Amino acid sequence: MGLEQLMPAIASMTWQDLVMIAIGLILIYLAIAKNYEPTLLLPIGFGAILVNIPFSSAITQIDPATGQAVEGVLNTFFNAGIVTEIFPLLIFVAIGAMIDFSPLFRNPSLLLFGAAAQFGIFMTMIFASLLGYDLREAASIGIIGAADGPTSIVVASRFAPNLLGPISVAAYSYMALVPIIQPPVIRLLTSKKERLIRMSTAGNYNKKISKKALIAFPIAVTIVAGIIAPSSLALIGFLMFGNLIRECGVLNKLSLAAQNELASLVTLLLGITIASTMTSDRFIRVDTLIIIALGLFAFIFDTFGGVIFAKFMNLFRKEGNKINPMIGACGISAFPMSARVIHQMGQKEDPFNYLLMPAISANVGGQIGSVVAGGIILTLVPLLA
């Protein structure tokens, strides 16, 4: 009896499988040792190992005895949770339950940074088209710039399921790398004088917000978004539904369950299910490297869009009422990491400059902006493709 019969997995192992197992180990290392998005990168890393061992029963295999396909559990999860978009949309309910929109009510003009910092999505989409990707693939790659994992998964699973693995890995990896990506770009685009701008007069951060207004907001946003772009309703509606559960005041147990148990369980399933697309034959390709590079490009241009828009707004503002341009970079969806990074950058320049509150407002705007951008892409691409 040969090795092939005794240990078929070892006999059939290719160098590509070994590379994927190494990638899985690196993702697990980054999750545990560096604390980079551990809730997602750890299941994705483990899943990458799980699906790249030859004849793994975790994914669909052809039974050599019968010649029939035996469906693996990860493929079952994929068909049930990703193809149907159930997992990412449930994550949106959880995220909605975690978001407090009151910082936006205290300084609503910062909401506009949530639009400006989506610039990277569209720039990356154009760049991906220049590289030869079709419109649907280019849009799916561009959406990495939403800095919002579930939005990336919804768009990619609809338009380019073949690229879902690298897009998800890029989206979550770069979200974790915001503290490394954003500061050099911001320093390049701003002067020291601009970074020293204080925003103590911007917004009224002690202002109390009416409970009724906070309850009405998610309902009104859903209706407005639904009327303008019905295709965006799955994304925006589930996010706002989660927020309504939080704000209504009569479903506190459900709100806590959405923020904790639902978020944890679905994140776990989402991560390991995405890994089912990370088989060596689909992942070890030049495309993956290009997508990873384009993801970085998207995050850089998001930061660029936000900072430049802040500088543009300052052209119309009086001295003493200017916006610290670093705040513009918080318009991405990576919450609260981006706000924290900007606050720390501000404190490094001037230990008495407290940018946290305006940074949080812009960052909450980014959470809405990324979902809106995702909804707009879901609406426009089928119309024009």
Partner 1 sequence: MTQAIEKALEIAGIGIIGVFIFMAIFYLLILALDTFLPYKEEVSAEGNSVEVETEDETQN
Contacts to partner 1 by CB under 8 A? 104-105, 108-109, 111-112, 114-116, 118-119, 121-123, 125-126, 128-130, 133-135, 138-139, 207-210, 212-213, 216-217, 220-221, 224-225, 228-229, 249-254, 365, 368-369, 372-373, 376-377, 380-381, 384-385
Residues 6+ apart with CB under 8 A from 248: 215
CB of 92 to partner 1, least distance (A): 17
Query: Smaller CB distance to partner 1: residue 73 or 135?
Result: 135
CB of 365 to partner 1, least distance (A): 7
C-alpha span between 203 and 385 (Å, rounded): 42
Query: Smaller CB distance to partner 1: residue 121 or 153?
Result: 121
Write the CA distances from 186 to 84, 224, 328, 360, integer angstroms: 39, 34, 9, 17
Query: Smaller CB distance to partner 1: residue 114 or 165?
Result: 114
Strand 61-62 with 69-70, pairing: antiparallel
Identify the helix (H) or strand (E) that includes residue 70.
strand 69-70
Residue with tokens 């991560």: 271
CB of 296 to partner 1, least distance (A): 19
CB of 207 to partner 1, least distance (A): 8
CB of 88 to partner 1, least distance (A): 20
CB of 287 to partner 1, least distance (A): 16
Structure tokens at 324: 């610290």
Helix segments in 131-191, DSSP class H:
135-142, 149-159, 164-176, 178-189
Cα torsion 127, 132, 133, 139: sign: positive
C-alpha span between 81 and 103 (Å, rounded): 33
Instruction: Give the closest residue to 333 by CA, choosing from 123, 95, 82.
Output: 95
Helix/strand/coil percentages in the chain, nearest 5:
75, 0, 25
Query: Smaller CB distance to partner 1: residue 48 or 139?
Result: 139
CB of 271 to partner 1, least distance (A): 28
Query: Smaller CB distance to partner 1: residue 195 or 246?
Result: 246
Query: Smaller CB distance to partner 1: residue 149 or 218?
Result: 218
Query: Smaller CB distance to partner 1: residue 84 or 260?
Result: 260
